[in-house]
Structure 1
Amino acid sequence: MTQSAYVILVGVGLLTPGVLRVSAADEIDFSRDIRPILIEKCYSCHGPDHNKREADLRLDFESDVFAGRDTATIVRGKPEESELYRRLVTDNDDERMPPPDSRKVVSEEQKTLLENWIAQGAKWQEHWAYTKLAKPAVPSAPAGDFVRNEIDHFTLARMQGESLTPNEAADRVTLIRRLSFDLIGLPPTPVEIDAFTKGTLPGSYEKLVDRLLDSKHYGERMAIYWLDVARYADTNGFHGDNPRTMWLYRDYVIDAFNSNMPFDQFTNEQLAGDLIPQAGRRGLIASAYNRLLQTTQEGGAQAKEYYARYAADRVRNTSFAWLGTTMDCVECHNHKFDPFSMKDFYSLAAFFADIDEPAVGGPPHTRLFTPEQEAKLKQRDAKIAELNEKLETLESEQEQASVKKELEEAQKRREAVHDLGIDLLVTNTQANPRGMRILPRGNWMDDSGPVVTPAVPEFLGQLETGDRRANRLDLATWLVSPDNPLTPRVFVNRVWMLMFGAGISDNTRDMGTQGVLPTHPGLLNWLSADFVEHGWDVKRLVKQIVMSGTYRQSSLMDKQKRSRDPYNHLLARQNRWRLDAELVRDTALSISGLLVRKVGGPSVKPYQPAGYWMHLKFPNRTWEHDVGESQYRRGLYTWWQRTFLHPSLLAFDAPTREECAAQRARSNTPLQALVLLNDPTYVEAARKFAERIVQEGGGSVEQRVHFAMRQATSRAARDAEVAVLSDLYQQQLKDYSSDKQAAEKLLTTGLTPCESSIDVAELAAWSDVARAVLNLNETITRN
């Protein structure tokens, strides 16, 4: 291992998931090797925050580091003449940096690294995420089965540099299961598996990909990710966390992914759909994005305080969603590590000051109608106008009475159609935007800060709007313009995460200097530039990724890869992970045959433990679960109560969406097994699955076990599994035969009626087998 590699891995102590090891090259890389030291040891006093800056010295900008000073901070090629290095190694406590009382110690390895970097010429690099987006050359790669497209050229080059080889492609059963979970969030059926495994003709894999991308369920799968980012919920969050109607926005997101809406259009419509006349009804629904934040209905709330909260929330979410930047701290002070200032924060907030909304309460709403309803309303209005005109020409009281009665009926018919409309919190623009000023320390009561107008972060450029005040459409347009390199990198990185379990830059929340260097920076830049070049085409991007040999690899890990690359940063295999909370539910319902595959519509309320809402006040409420098909909808349609998220979603790490989330935690807890065993949703799914096992699985116990395992895991059961599950069935059959009351209690869980033609004890026993199979790690794992 080279000296620089040893320093990074052992000495610096700053190893991140994005940096597995330094390559064999001796040249020290500023972004990888030096900037992390400066951030950790120096930026608190010599970084972006001018309020904390000492000695008027900045170490985050090249121009400041190499600017003319009485004593040169860094002299390229001459560590001994560089004040920065001299201060690091001096024995004089009064001169040493960092100061001894800061408790920040620069290790000997770090000092050596800085010395060698200066000696090599102190080559500076702008932070990778802020550099202008350019499409790099694709590395050459040897011909072979692994290389399917440009992605593989990048990943193979990195593997070869580390003396690793890629895994073989996964078997076709694993591939269809992986694709099905990744693209539509549902397991494949045995019929689909058989068709794919027998279809070995060239192009069969691509046909499968195209079919899944064309599925109406693709939009549902992709929407889960964006709804986390946009912090979609059915309630307002603050105070009593009261309900509000927002589901039309969720349906808009689903439809946008299904129709392959270009991501730049998707951006424009959400931030400024009300300012785009041609967007029409769709644009108004999209603009509900601006109303997704937490609001309050508390009577004693201070309007000024909550307007400040709303402004800060919108800046946090917009910067997170599109810039991949955490600006939370900039509400109170300049960013400690990245070049975002308080002025940037409040200038971004000023874009949203034109939104017409009360500080307390939900309105204004806009009643929205389907095209069919709008056509009926026009017909009704025309009829009412016709009758009013006719009424004015009539003199006979008898004729007037007749027309008045007809008019009354026409108005009732119009009201009946009007009542079918849906009140949605959309964005309405007010003529005079609220004033926006910098709030010292984020204090909403302090009016001493200067007034600001809408503007993008200064270090990323500026908008050209002449004398016109910039608006939200200008902001949206800039976010997806060539002037902003962050948006395509952020989105591409997060889509990669959906297909690999981790981003190319592992920190999908923060692309700033506190984030994680990409494992394959050239690949991220190439994909991002290619994404923009091809019209922000999301389906094309997804297809590029899943068509690659890198994506198709087996997830098996041998000893060498476990030792050399335990976190798979080199992408020499695929990853495996437990499904997201909504997909765990969807999988169980799909296997059982209960899943209702309807797309869109109001949020639904599945079974929930009694008393869970006991402490949900203002007003007191009780959960009344849905009946009929609403009980068996996909997980993303579940009612999203921010302060009391449905417990089965919470158990599997779904976020409350009080704030935005780009990547969910993946815990493994005993509570999850208990949910799968005892939640009425899963118990009912298990007993309906049991009915399928008995009716479709064959006549013998062994045949039925094989059927159950194939339905749930997509593969044949192993001999040991057949033995264990057969024993479980026999034992439970014996128990339930002597305790029919226990069997009947199990079989009455849920709303669906029990199949009366099957013996109660037998069905209950198979229900317990089904519960065990649905609880298998393999059933709820994407491999």
Structure 2
Amino acid sequence: MGGSEMSRSVLFLITVGTFQCFLAPTLSAVDFEQDVLPILEDNCLFCHGEDEQESGLRLDRRVSMIRGGDSGLAALVPGKPDKSYLIEVINHVDPDMAMPPDEDKLPQEQIDLITRWIQEGARWPGQMEEAAEDEVDLWSFQQVVRPEVPQQVERDDVGKPIDAFLLNKLEEHDLSYSQPADPRSLLRRVSIVLTGLPPTPEQTKEFLAAFASDPEKAYTEAVDRLLDSPHFGERWAQHWLDVIRWAETNGSEANLYRKNAWIYRDYVIRSFNEDKPYDQFLREQIAGDTMGVGEATGFLVAGPHVPAATVGREPAAIRQARADRMDEIMQTVGASVMGVTIGCARCHNHKFDPISIRDYYAMTAVFQDIEFGSRHPEYSPDHPLRERGAELWRQIAEQRQQLKQMGGWEEDWGAYRELHFKPVSTKAIRIRFKMANVFVDELEVLGPDAQNLNLALASRGTRVSGHPEKGFETRNPIQRINDGDYGTMIWRAQVEKDEDRPWVRFEFEKAETINRLRVSNNREYFYETDYLTKKPNLPRYEFDVDVMTDTGEWQPWVGTWSVNKKLNQEHPERKKLLDKIQRSIACLSEEGPRPSFVGRLIEPEITRVLLRGSPESPRDEVFPAGPKMLGGDLDLTSETSGPRRRRTFAAWITKSDHPLTARVMVNRIWHHLFGNGLVPTTSDFGNAGAPPTHPELLDWLSAEFTEPTVSQRPAWSVKSIIRLLVLSDAFRQSSHPRDSALKVDAGSQLLWRYPPKRVEAEVIRDAVLQASGVLDTTIGGKSYRIHNEKDTYAQWQVTDNHGSDTWRRMIYQERMRRVDDQLFTAFDFPDCGQVRAKRPVSTTPLQALNLMNSDFVVEQSELIAERAEKEAGGDEVKSVDRCFELLLGRAPDADERRDCLELASASGLPLVCRAIINSNEFAFLP
């Protein structure tokens, strides 16, 4: 035994009776510089040293080892070799992460030395006091500090802070504003930007008259009218829906329809119309179920997902699909609220921004109680659906009272059937089915004291047993029947014809008073999807119910035959009552609160970092939190309830001093007003995004958004920030180019003119409908249909994208992912599969063809021509002039009038309308 291996090694043999005790050799402490450093130098530092750090890992500094590399796992945890990722990789536990690789694996004695060094505290002479530096130099992670408004620069009319910042920057480049836009162009611009609709000829005429006498007053009043218009909410809701990828199908292979997802869309429209403070708007979308605004949580499940039926039953596939759904939530929250590509940290530390893999999974922990699916939203007391629902429930209650006098009855709620019977108190019940095959996802037992309290839940201590025994432990065990999980996880009972029929027994922890049973076989399928050729259908199961008496004997109590057949024979008048209650139930499902695709709430599980993003490699537990570098510690644990996690996160993200929230939103507002954000990458404020063109202006607006100083504006008011911007001289400039300015700033980023841009697909379509006079301006409600009904795994087909049932604003058109609407997809209308904080703008021949020859344009052009001729009294010249007024808001000039009269004489006035619709003037903001 050498001295380097042992110090004062002594072996004692002590014999006491039949026991022998050995005192093991005492090992000396590992010397880092003599024992460990040479191993690192010979095998590790070439790739993980000062000059090069593969995978972001540096092994020549103790503090860097503690921080870890891109994996997000600490390479070194002093005193804990089992938590140190370095030990795992040098032991080649995972062949894909073996270091040194292949046959270069360290000898076992060297691995043992490093392990002992870490166990003993990983002492590293000269580096024990070095601490990790957590300073971040990313501009967007710094606190917003309100800058001083620049002093007036060589213009006497600079009185607005927006213009002061912009003119100051223009002065640096020897540029200046362009001349003001003409009043007609200005009205058209501000109308489309604020409401998505151009002004009507009558509105234009009225504005021009007012502008001639008092331009400032006329414009200000026009802006206020547009901000108060209910169409404002429709326009700005669409911007928000683009960012979060909202759609009414799930986007998977089956691409199933999300039933009643439009409830969330209408919430967004109302919120913008009401000018709901933006911080409240965000809190409601993150935790609206705790605030009486449950429909708002549709925000969290707006992205695509793969439904359970497509995922299948393989446990690893189920875990992967759950991780993918959580990532969709991260993408939604990160892009829309934070302006950060947080999803890049799913598998490793973010390559560009100070967001670690631990940050990513800590944020997923915030939302662990959210599942993609449906629930009854928690509506506020004054919500119109809730008021109508209360009225219908009163009707149902009255009808039930009448039916009670005649015994039991059965109600069909589509998703489930509910059997009503005389109340009874019992400690156990037995349900005996009368058919050989039974498929049930949940069998609920309810009592008179609570409408929806399932007394049979396993979580309440209720024990379940039944027949057949065979298959209880397979994929469809009987425990599925009371686990509280609706959907594809079912109890599947199949028996041969000559066997005893299936039966189920529930034993309660204590005697319970019961009066109802609910049976369903895929309740979520019914609640979550629609428009299928094969509708979700619940068979009418026939069964008898027995209750256990105090003596432990079974007593027959009720059966489906007795309430459906026998009582109908005894009380023929029941039929009218049963029909009436079914009509009330049908009305309730359409007109009252209804299960909607706004997220299902589940019990959150412990969240762990997933190595390389794989659910099969769970590592350290993490608590719910925001990113560390943003001060995201929320003081929560894995024991914290799901709603409290989200409420706390929502309060943190909406703090007035949060460095990202206000910046991201005011930049997004700027983008939609001027065509390009002060930060051009509107959903990426990280190092890979573009820096702000006017950083001081961005911060001034952010501070003004949360703590207003101008005109006593309310805090977090979207409308007031928009008003401030559209009243600026910058917004009111002409869009005409100037050669000298184009040489300096061809993209108009410095705002020396109002940047011209093509209007969106919705604006083109809605403007055509408005011009023809057939636009249905009803606000909100179920989407109008343009698609077929389909088989589960078939694709959606467009069947009618132009008929009279579709003459509403385009925001109310069905949003099916991965489907071309065969008209406006050509105008870069998003398919909602990806974040679209900034829509692309393309120019293709297909656009002109659609605006010339599509059924929609042909039909609408005929309607516009008919309207023009009628309003012009049949005069040919006035009819051409009226077409221009309806579509462009102006009369034609002499050349245009002459050419259009020739075309109308040769080919008809509708062709003139189609030509105008194809003009750049119609499709671009002036």
TM-score range, shorter chain: 0.7 to 0.9
Which residue identity is paired with 2:274?
S
Aligned mates of 1:637, 1:581 — CA distance in 2 = 13
SS in structure 1 at match of 2:705: helix
SS in structure 2 at match of 1:328: helix
| 1:649-688 paired onto structure 2 within 5 Å | 649-688=824-863
Aligned counterpart for 1:232 among listed residues 228, 246, 261:
246
Q: 1:720 to 1:410 in 2, by over 3 A?
A: closer
Aligned mates of 1:777, 1:162 — CA distance in 2 = 31
| 1:40-189 paired onto structure 2 within 5 Å | 51-53=55-57, 126-141=137-152, 146-189=157-200
Aligned mates of 2:742, 2:725 — CA distance in 1 = 24
After TM superposition, the score normalised by the length of structure 2 is: 0.63
Q: Deviations over 1:727-775 (max 9, x none)?
A: 322332xxxxxxxxxxxxxxxxxxxxxxxxxxxxxxxx11111110111
Aligned mates of 1:647, 1:375 — CA distance in 2 = 42
Q: Please say which of residues 217-226 and 456-465 is displaced more in the overlay.
A: 456-465
Q: 1:711 to 1:417 in 2, by over 3 A?
A: closer
Q: Number of paired residues?
A: 625
Q: 1:272 to 1:207 in 2, by over 3 A?
A: same
Given that 1:284 and 1:427 are in contact with CA atoms closer than 8 Å, whether structure 2 keeps it comes out as no
Q: Which residue of 1 aligns with 2:620?
A: 450
Given that 2:861 and 2:910 are in contact with CA atoms closer than 8 Å, whether structure 1 keeps it comes out as yes
| 1:268-283 paired onto structure 2 within 5 Å | 268-276=283-291, 279=292, 283=293
Q: Deviations over 1:216-242 (max 9, x none)?
A: 100010011001112111111011101
| 1:729-744 paired onto structure 2 within 5 Å | 729-732=904-907
Q: Which residue of 1 aligns with 2:226?
A: 212
Q: Which residue of 2 aligns with 1:260?
A: 275
Given that 1:373 and 1:417 are in contact with CA atoms closer than 8 Å, whether structure 2 keeps it comes out as no
Q: Which residue of 1 aligns with 2:484?
A: none
SS in structure 1 at match of 2:861: helix
The answer to whether the aligner puts 1:336 opposite 2:346 as a matched pair is no
Q: Which residue of 1 aligns with 2:334?
A: 319
Aligned counterpart for 2:680 among listed residues 500, 506, 510:
506
- 1:660 Cα deviation after fit: 1.8
Aligned counterpart for 2:392 among listed residues 377, 380, 383:
377
SS in structure 2 at match of 1:551: coil
- 1:680 Cα deviation after fit: 1.1
SS in structure 2 at match of 1:291: coil
Q: Which residue of 1 aligns with 2:819?
A: 644
Which residue identity is paired with 1:157?
N
Q: 1:264 to 1:371 in 2, by over 3 A?
A: same
Q: 1:719 to 1:47 in 2, by over 3 A?
A: farther
Which residue identity is paired with 2:757?
W
| 1:11-50 paired onto structure 2 within 5 Å | none
Q: Which residue of 1 aligns with 2:362?
A: 347
Aligned mates of 2:799, 2:880 — CA distance in 1 = 36
Aligned mates of 1:500, 1:384 — CA distance in 2 = 58
- 1:621 Cα deviation after fit: 5.1
Q: Which residue of 2 aligns with 1:741?
A: none
Aligned mates of 2:813, 2:800 — CA distance in 1 = 11
Q: Which residue of 1 aligns with 2:323?
A: 308
Which residue identity is paired with 1:727?
E
Q: Which residue of 2 aligns with 1:433?
A: 604
Q: Please say which of residues 130-139 and 432-441 is displaced more in the overlay.
A: 432-441
The answer to whether the aligner puts 1:423 opposite 2:595 as a matched pair is yes
Aligned mates of 1:381, 1:455 — CA distance in 2 = 45
Given that 2:264 and 2:598 are in contact with CA atoms closer than 8 Å, whether structure 1 keeps it comes out as no
What's the % identity of the aligned pairs? Answer: 33
Q: Which residue of 2 aligns with 1:21?
A: none
- 1:403 Cα deviation after fit: 9.5
The answer to whether the aligner puts 1:597 opposite 2:777 as a matched pair is yes
Q: Please say which of residues 486-495 and 381-390 is displaced more in the overlay.
A: 381-390
Aligned mates of 2:660, 2:779 — CA distance in 1 = 33
Q: Deviations over 1:261-318 (max 9, x none)?
A: 1111110111111122xx2xxx111112222221223445321111010011111111
SS in structure 2 at match of 1:437: strand
Aligned counterpart for 1:537 among listed residues 714, 717, 732:
717
Q: Deviations over 1:592-648 (max 9, x none)?
A: 222111111111234x8xxxx899971465444278753211111111110113132
Aligned mates of 2:811, 2:49 — CA distance in 1 = 46
Q: Which residue of 1 aligns with 2:629?
A: 459
SS in structure 1 at match of 2:858: helix
Q: Which residue of 2 aligns with 1:759?
A: none
Q: Deviations over 1:123-152 (max 9, x none)?
A: x99322111012111111158575352111
Given that 1:138 and 1:154 are in contact with CA atoms closer than 8 Å, whether structure 2 keeps it comes out as yes
Aligned mates of 1:385, 1:695 — CA distance in 2 = 57
Aligned mates of 2:49, 2:816 — CA distance in 1 = 43
Unaligned runs of 5+ in 2: 1-47, 68-134, 408-421, 423-566, 708-713
- 1:406 Cα deviation after fit: 8.5
More strand by share: 2
Given that 1:367 and 1:423 are in contact with CA atoms closer than 8 Å, whether structure 2 keeps it comes out as no
Which residue identity is paired with 1:212?
L
SS in structure 2 at match of 1:165: coil
RMSD (Å) for aligned C-alpha atoms: 3.2
Given that 2:802 and 2:855 are in contact with CA atoms closer than 8 Å, whether structure 1 keeps it comes out as no
- 1:402 Cα deviation after fit: 9.8
Aligned mates of 1:48, 1:336 — CA distance in 2 = 15
Aligned mates of 1:711, 1:46 — CA distance in 2 = 70
The answer to whether the aligner puts 1:482 opposite 2:486 as a matched pair is no
After TM superposition, the score normalised by the length of structure 1 is: 0.74
Aligned mates of 1:249, 1:229 — CA distance in 2 = 14
Aligned mates of 2:573, 2:901 — CA distance in 1 = 77
Q: 1:343 to 1:464 in 2, by over 3 A?
A: closer
Aligned mates of 1:511, 1:517 — CA distance in 2 = 8
Q: Deviations over 1:554-579 (max 9, x none)?
A: 11111111111111121111011111
The answer to whether the aligner puts 1:563 opposite 2:743 as a matched pair is yes
Which residue identity is paired with 2:610?
L
Q: Which residue of 2 aligns with 1:90?
A: none
Which residue identity is paired with 1:781?
F
Aligned mates of 2:920, 2:53 — CA distance in 1 = 48
Q: Deviations over 1:22-62 (max 9, x none)?
A: xxxxxxxxxxxxxxxxxxxxxx999999832457699x9xx
Q: Which residue of 1 aligns with 2:297?
A: 287
Aligned counterpart for 1:630 among listed residues 805, 811, 814:
805
Aligned mates of 1:57, 1:139 — CA distance in 2 = 47
Q: Deviations over 1:472-524 (max 9, x none)?
A: 12111111113521011001001001100000111112111111121111111
Aligned mates of 1:383, 1:427 — CA distance in 2 = 32
Which residue identity is paired with 2:816?
Q
Aligned mates of 1:47, 1:634 — CA distance in 2 = 59
Given that 1:553 and 1:574 are in contact with CA atoms closer than 8 Å, whether structure 2 keeps it comes out as yes
Aligned counterpart for 1:221 among listed residues 235, 240, 247:
235
Given that 1:331 and 1:442 are in contact with CA atoms closer than 8 Å, whether structure 2 keeps it comes out as yes
Aligned counterpart for 1:191 among listed residues 195, 202, 221:
202
Q: Please say which of residues 414-423 and 476-485 is displaced more in the overlay.
A: 414-423
Aligned counterpart for 2:753 among listed residues 557, 573, 578:
573
Aligned mates of 1:379, 1:616 — CA distance in 2 = 38
SS in structure 2 at match of 1:203: helix
More helix by share: 1
